[in-house]
Every structure is written in C-alpha cells, then in structure tokens.
Amino acid sequence: MKWITRERPKIDRIACPWLIKKFVDAEAEFIYVPFDAVLDKAKELNAIPFDVPNVEYTHYNEQCTFDFIIKKHQIQDPAISIIAGIVRGADTDRHDIAKESAGLWAISAGLSYNITDDHTLLDTGMVMYDALYSWASHLYQQNHLQNSPFEKLLHEVYNKLLKDNKVSGKTPSWVKDLKDIIQDQIDTQFAFDLKKISNELDLNPSYLSREFSKYFEDLNFGEYVRKLRIEKAISLISNSSHTLTEIAYMTGFSDQSHFTRIFKLHTGKNPSAYRKKNQKSNSDTKGK
C-alpha cells in the first residue's frame, strides 16, 4: 500500500513509516510531497495520507500520529509503548514526557539538516528506529554508569552535592542572572540555547538542566520557555494586528500547527478562537 505525507520529515513522519513497515504493512511505500499537495496526490495515487490535518492518521489531542497507529492497529509490544512516549515528547516539544525525547529531537533535526533527500533521510531514520527498538526491547533498564564503578561514584557524589545545596535553602546567584538572560529574549527572538546560556553563566549544562525547575515555577527549561512564548503570543493576539502565522514565527514556533497545539494546551482554546473571544470582549467593553 502507498502512504503519503508532507515533505521534509523530522520526527513523526520518520517514526510512523518505521512503525508501519514493522507492524502494519511490510510492503508499504512512502511518498513525500509539499503540504498543499498531500490530499490531492493521495487521491491520485490511491495512497493513505498521514500526519496532516483532517485525515484519519493524524494527531488527536495531545497524542501524535505514532500513537494513533498503535491504537488503530492494536500494537501491544511493550517496547513500542516505551518508544511512543519518546516520539510523542520529541514531536510535540514536550521533553518532560520522556528524558530521551530531547535526544531524539536533536538527532532527528540534525539528520534532517544533513540529508536533503527525503527518501535517503527515511532510510537512515529506519536504522535509527531499529536501534531505538532494540534498546527499548533489551536495554531499557540498563544504566550506562553501571558499567563504570568510577563514573558511578562520581555520579553519587554529584547527586549528594545537589541534595545538600537544596537543603541549604539558598538561592544560587546564577538564578537571577538566568532570569535576566531569558527576559532579554522575550521581546526579541526567543533564541534560547541551553549550552550557550550555561557558558554565559559559567555553569555545567547538566547541572543547570537538573537545578532549573527548583527556581522556575517547578517547570523544566523547555516548559518554562514555552510558557513565556505563549504569554508573549497572548499579548500579541490581544494588542496587535499581526496574523497568527506571524505571531507563531515571532514567538519562536517552527510552524503554525505546532503553535496552535501548544497554545491550546496552555489556554484551552486555539489561537483563532482566543482572538475572537478577545475581540468580542473588547467590543462589549467599548459598547458599555
């Protein structure tokens, strides 16, 4: 069977073909076309469209297309359940779902940057997901540090240091500096690079990542930045005439569909509904 989706895949549009090939349709053929051409080409080629709006195989609420395929085809493999969380976290920019999601996003984005041919990218991605499946099937409970007593000892000492610092109740000086750095970006480009920020603060990135939530509303770095992006978007929707696509770009989202998903998660409404409600509220206020 032929399956068709948007060109330039990164997460879901590589993970889903791998899942389909392995558990649904071993002879599947995958086609990548421009977004606007997916539905027309699907009819023309008698192909199943996936990971685009208004089709069966797509995102539902907070779950991605990978999740839907698992549910639709009743895939019960425990390793796939593990991978599903990682894919969902990477594809929806919610790295709190699984700690491996950030790594999957980084590798996938790097592959997409290096490989410009979508089918070559898919072939490479298939190898990557085969490796991830082996890890989820056989190595999920294995910790790298368990193979090195010296590294494990250092890790224990490091965790004790973090615990002792937490007990002391003192707020480190870097917290204020970090808040200033983030605030400087709010009205500009939202270009947050944790490694670069760590260098500016003269902190280890791993330490900063681990300690961040204690001083920033119990949110991890990604969650806190997304919260600020949505707050900025709300301000722009309420006080400017920018289009929603422009606002998505101005607040650091890679595309409007991603912006819409994250906005709805935070506010309970999609951006267009939020703008309509805000305009109605302002109109009613002026009429009084």
Domain ranges of the chain: 2-139, 145-216, 224-287
pTM of model > 0.85: no
What DSSP character marks residue 20?
A: I
At a CB cut-off of 8 Å and minimum separation 6, what does 110 contact? none
Q: What is the CA radius of gyration of the chain?
A: 22
Among the listed ranges 55-59, 119-123, 266-270, which one has the minimum average pLDDT value? 266-270
pLDDT of res. 160: 58
pLDDT of res. 266: 87
pLDDT digits (tens, 9 = 90+) for 205-246: 777 777 878 888 888 777 787 888 889 889 999 888 888 888
pLDDT digits (tens, 9 = 90+) for 49-96: 999 999 999 999 889 999 999 999 999 999 999 999 999 999 988 898
Could you please state the CATH topology (level 3) that the domain comprising 224-287 is classified under. Answer: Arc Repressor Mutant, subunit A (1.10.10)
280 pLDDT tier (thresholds 50, 70, 90): confident
Instruction: Give Cα separations from 233 to 129, 142, 241, 251, 254 (angstroms).
Output: 35, 42, 12, 6, 14
50 three-state secondary structure: strand
